[in-house]
Amino acid sequence: MSQQFSEPTYSSNIGTTGKKKKTPVFVYPLLFVITFVTTLIAGMEWTTGSMGPYEFADLAKGLPYALSILFILSFHEFGHYFAAKYHKVDTTLPFYIPFPPIPGFFHFGTMGAVIKTRSVIPNNKSMFDIGVWGPISGFAACLIIISYGFLNLPEMEYILTIHPDYLSPEYGKDALSLEFGDTILFALMRELFTNPQQFVPPMSEIYHYPYLCTGWFGLFVTAMNMIPVGQLDGGHVVYSMFGHKKHEAVASIAMIVLMVLGGLGVLDTFMDFQTHIGWTGWLFWAFILYIFIKIKHPPVPYFEQLDSNRMLIGYFSLVIFIISFSPTPFILSIS
């Protein structure tokens, strides 16, 4: 049975006069170029293990990272964009968000990308399509990048050029190390595309491998966006599939899980509990969701049961969330 709501969804970039604020056209390519530069610098940092200064020849080392991460982000955002255009929802082009290089601080060079809708999304079918095709498109891009990374792993000499003492028993002792948390999908692809005869970098070294690093980051971003809370992509999907009551229940459970994982991360970091489960960043992300994204999803003007094809796609997107999610995405430790 259809449900009718009187309150419309949010519409971004609407001024107090009711007129749409048009973003100057030059802003989109400008942000893209700046993000390309910041990801290029991040790529040089990750792949060389050096914080600079760099020579001009080092730019080539950052290119695979920068191009890969922009490829994944672009697939994700244009998945949203073309779905919005299909439903005749007015929307902006993607805003790429650069993250400036900070001395002594490793980063990914970007905080992602976003689009903004400038007109009301009329029903849950449109909301579903716009919400789901971003993560599915980004996920497909991640599969391409990770597959290429595992199928084209360099020989061990590559890591030795970065860490000449890598094979030494003293390597990493009394030093701060960063390890990326494994995921179901990443582990499965590692098993499928590599063999015992080749050197496969551990999770504590994959950030030196640009395709594996950006592919892992793409899964991390996809999972963060697919958390079924508020106006995240996962929130759009679950709300559109099941309605506001079930969405609110699922979103509340998701927030509790995030806070528990964040709390376990705090215990591990500051009280040395050694559970190796959780990440303090989940507490910060839960705070951001609660304050800015909100737990509840705003209603659409018209709501009806989704067709079976959309429901299947929705369930598939939730599987993507599960196999891309890492409870402990970042592990900092001193050997």
Specify the pTM: 0.91
Phi-psi region of 168 (alpha: psi -120 to 50; beta: other; left: phi over 0): beta
pLDDT in tens, 92-112: 999 999 998 887 677 899 999
Distances (CA, A) of 77 to 71, 72, 210: 10, 9, 21
Strand partners, 332: 178
Asked if 240 and 124 count as a contact pair (C-beta separation under 8 A), the reply is: yes
Give CA–CA dist 237/225, Å, rounded: 11
φ, ψ for residue 95 (rounded to 5)? -95, 110
Is pLDDT at 36 greater than 70 in this prediction?
Answer: yes
What confidence category does residue 335 fall into, taking pLDDT thresholds of 50, 70 and 90?
A: low
Per-residue pLDDT, averaged over 34-40, amounts to 97
CB atoms within 10 A of CB 229: 27
Residue 7 pLDDT level (bands cut at 50, 70, 90): very low
DSSP letters, 31-66, are HHHHHHHHHHHHHHHHHHS------GGGHHHHHHHH
pLDDT at 221 > cutoff 70: yes
Q: Which segments of 18-163 are extended strands (E)? A: 95-98, 110-114
Angle between helix 233-242 and 124-151 (nearest 10): 130
Query: Which three-class secondary structure state does DSSP give residue 333?
Result: strand
How high does pLDDT run on average in the chain?
Answer: 90
In one-letter notation, the amino acid at residue 149 is G
Spatial neighbors of 187 by CB under 8 A, at least 6 apart, are none
**What pLDDT sits at residue 19?**
46
Residues in the chain: 335
In 3D space, the residue among 85, 152, 123, 327 whose CA is nearest the CA of residue 224 turns out to be: 327
- Is the pLDDT at 254 greater than 80? The verdict is yes
Flag whether pLDDT at 66 surpasses 70.
yes
CA gap 80, 129 in Å, rounded: 8
Structure tokens at 295: 């737990």
Interior angle at CA 278, CA 268 and CA 47, nearest 5:
95
What does the pLDDT look like over 189-216, one tens digit per residue?
Answer: 999 999 999 999 999 999 999 999 999 9
Residue 183, both tokens:
């995921």
Give yes or no for a contact between 241 and 311, defined as CB atoms under 8 angstroms apart: yes
274 touches 93 (CB < 8 A): no
Rg of the chain on CA atoms, in Å: 21
53/49 Cα distance (integer angstroms)? 12
